[in-house]
Structure formats: structure tokens, C-alpha cells
Chain A
């Protein structure tokens, strides 16, 4: 996977639970867990904006590009 989702890192930094973020952002816990595990197919700008707002961070803090041999 070339794009890594560092949502768990940001949650830990902000000392926030997934459930709490889910309530603020309006995205289900299941969907946030899928996103956290980098299993999502795509992320909407609106979701990214809401997460950045809730965690007071930049998109780059959540998404990271890691070069892999196959990418």
C-alpha cells in the first residue's frame, strides 16, 4: 500500500477515541476503522476536511505516501 493512513497516530496525539471522532465527524466507527487500517478505496474531501477540523491537523498529517517496490 503506497498511501498510509496515520489516523491512529493523530488520534493518539490528540488523545481521542475513534468513537468520539465518529460523533464529531459524522462518519461511522466502522468506516473510520476501515480508513484507519488503510482498507478504504477512496476518501472524500468532505470527510478529510471534517477529520482535519476535528483533529486540528493538516491532510498530510493523516495521509502519507510511502514508496514501495511495486508502486
Chain B
């Protein structure tokens, strides 16, 4: 489990208590919670575009739990890209963005009582011959633990891919 978000939350809480103790004003103290709430709102706003992939993967990576998986396919990159579009449309995931020139896909899970949703970045790269290297990164939008949802997303995706190869 990523410890950074827990530390971030603890710092916010300690700051809140300190401010409340010295100022006596609850509203001033609550300002401490603007950064985490702001971060969540920013993440929800940026989640639907492939352009902000590095924000979730690289810059904010230390605050979010992300799981990376790689696999190889014997299907050519171009064909696999179209196949994945079909699979995502028929699956529990929602297609958020796709770029065929870079063979990148972005899909996500919906927000519910238990989660703010996860973003799933799929990157295809041509391998040797007509094979394709598939990189799957699942990241949650807020918090340091996805409670295994990132791993479950990958299992679900791979099962859908395998099932879809029975034509």
C-alpha cells in the first residue's frame, strides 16, 4: 500500500487541529482541506483525456495507487487496437479516449459508493513480427489504496480479451 496519501491526510488533520487550537475558528481550520478536495476535483476533471496521462502516472503517481501489467499478443497492433475498442464497448469499462496514431486507449470505471473510479491506460506497441506488446496501467483517482480494484480491473480485462477470441 502506498503510504504517501495516508501521510498527506495525517498532515492535513494535524494542521486542522493546530489551526483550530490557535485560531479558535472552525472555518479557517477547514481551509486545510481545500488541497485534498481540490486535488479530487482536478482529477475528476482531467480523467477523461489521454493528454493528462502523465499527470496520473508520473506526477501524481506517489499519491495514487497504480498497478502496471504487461502482456504480449500474437495479433497485429492495428487489429488489436480495433479489437480492444470492441471489447471495451461490451465490457463494464467506459471508453473515455482513444488515439489510433499512438495506439493509446483510455477507459475508466464508474464512480460509486466505494470508489471515485479508476482510470485504465492501455498502450500498444508493435513487437517482433506481427506481435504486439500490451501495457495496462490501472490507477485510482484518489487515495493510496484501490482495495484490489486495480488488479481486478486487469483480470476482468484479460478475461474479456480471452473470451472475445472465441468467434
Which residues of A are in contact with B by a Cβ distance under 8 Å? Answer: 27-28, 30-35, 37, 39-44, 47
Q: Find A39's partner among B86, B162, B165 (CB 8 Å cutoff).
A: B165
Q: Please measure, in the bound complex, the distance between the C-alpha atom of A42 and the C-alpha atom of B166, giving whole angstroms.
A: 5
Judge if B1 is at the interface, Cβ distance under 8 Å. Answer: no
Q: Using an 8 Å CB-CB cutoff, how does the interface string of B60-85 with A read, 1 for contact, 0 for none?
A: 00000000000000111001001100
Tell me, rounded to whole Å, the shortest Cβ–Cβ distance linking B11 to chain A: 50
Task: Check A27–B167 contact: CB distance below 8 A.
Answer: yes
9 further interface pairs, Cβ-Cβ under 8 Å (given A31-B167, A39-B75): A30-B86, A34-B83, A37-B76, A39-B79, A41-B166, A42-B167, A43-B166, A43-B167, A47-B167
Q: Find B79's partner among A33, A43, A44, A47 (CB 8 Å cutoff).
A: A33
By Cβ-Cβ distance, the 3 closest A-B pairs, closest first, are A41-B165, A42-B166, A30-B82
Task: Check A40–B165 contact: CB distance below 8 A.
Answer: yes
Tell me, rounded to whole Å, the shortest Cβ–Cβ distance linking A47 to chain B: 6
With contacts A39-B74, A39-B75 known, is A34 near B166, CB below 8 A?
A: no
Task: Check B167–A44 contact: CB distance below 8 A.
Answer: yes
With contacts A30-B82, A30-B83, A30-B86 known, is A37 near B75, CB below 8 A?
A: yes
Q: Please measure, in the bound complex, the distance between the C-alpha atom of A6 and the C-alpha atom of B86, giving whole angstroms.
A: 24
| A residues in contact with B74, CB < 8 Å | 39
Q: Please measure, in the bound complex, the distance between the C-alpha atom of A34 and the C-alpha atom of B165, giving whole angstroms.
A: 8
* Smallest CB gap from B161: residue in A: A41
Q: Please measure, in the bound complex, the distance between the C-alpha atom of A42 and the C-alpha atom of B74, giving whole angstroms.
A: 15
Task: Check A35–B167 contact: CB distance below 8 A.
Answer: yes
Task: Check B166–A44 contact: CB distance below 8 A.
Answer: yes
Q: Please measure, in the bound complex, the distance between the C-alpha atom of A34 and the C-alpha atom of B129, giving whole angstroms.
A: 16
A-B residue pairs in contact (CB < 8 Å), sample of 23: A27-B167, A30-B83, A30-B86, A31-B86, A31-B164, A33-B79, A34-B75, A34-B79, A34-B83, A34-B167, A35-B167, A37-B75, A37-B76, A37-B79, A39-B74, A39-B75, A39-B165, A40-B167, A41-B162, A42-B166, A42-B167, A43-B167, A47-B167
